[in-house]
Chain A
Amino acid sequence: GENVEQHPSTLSVQEGDSAVIKCTYSDSASNYFPWYKQELGKRPQLIIDIRSNVGEKKDQRIAVTLNKTAKHFSLHITETQPEDSAVYFCAASIGAGKSTFGDGTTLTVKP
């Protein structure tokens, strides 16, 4: 089955700096890669996603890149703010919404 590895497990940055989280996946059939932000005790919130026919996608301060050949994808957050502090999960999906999640990254943005 699919295996998703996520790094780093914790990330601390100063407000205004950029944060980068990286994930690799194993199944070349995966074609959808969502990123979620989860606050304590709440549901994962989709923040950005990318499909396998696209190499990069950006939405304001958030961007995601995908390298299909290398089977890795990354989340980039620029101009970080304290409210960006949360746990971030990457996921890989073959279809119909079934996702394999990475282990998560706890991002702390220091004011």
Chain B
Amino acid sequence: GAVVSQHPSWVICKSGTSVKIECRSLDFQATTMFWYRQFPKQSLMLMATSNEGSKATYEQGVEKDKFLINHASLTLSTLTVTSAHPEDSSFYICSASSDKGNTEAFFGQGTRLTVV
């Protein structure tokens, strides 16, 4: 299967600072990437959909100014959590799709964010 790499795998930051998470498709071109958030013992909740070269589409209730998404190339999307607060602590996971009629998406390994 296709490989999606997410970095960093974990990060601890101080409240009020910003954190950037990268999601890379290593062996295919990802037309579309998805960002999910998963709180402990809960399901994956879609935050936003990003398409290469265009603005991300955010799900209802997700603040676009707080969670900045950039998809500047077909192999890289970034999620920046701005002015992070303890309630932003969560597991963030990206997935990528090549959009070639195959609806399977490939997940990154996830990033554990802890805001202190």
Contact = CB atoms under 8 A, between A and B. Distances in A.
Interface of A: 31-32, 34, 41-44, 46, 49, 51, 89, 93, 95-104
B44 A97 contact: no
Given A96-B97, A97-B34, A98-B49, A104 B107 contact: no
Given A31-B103, A46-B104, 16 more contacts: A32-B104, A34-B104, A41-B112, A43-B93, A43-B110, A51-B103, A89-B44, A96-B31, A96-B32, A97-B103, A98-B32, A98-B46, A99-B95, A101-B43, A102-B43, A104-B43
A108 to B, nearest CB: 14
Interface of B: 1, 31-32, 34, 42-46, 49, 91, 93, 95-97, 99, 103-105, 107-110, 112
A97 B43 contact: no
B43 A89 contact: yes
Determine chain A's interface SS by DSSP, over half rule.
strand
Contacts of A103: 42-43
Contact of A42 (B31, B104, B110): B110
A98 B34 contact: yes
A101 B44 contact: yes
Most B C-beta atoms less than 10 A away, residue of A51, A95, A97? A97
Contact of B104 (A43, A97, A100, A102): A97
Contacts of A101: 43-45
Contacts of B32: 96-98
A44 B103 contact: no
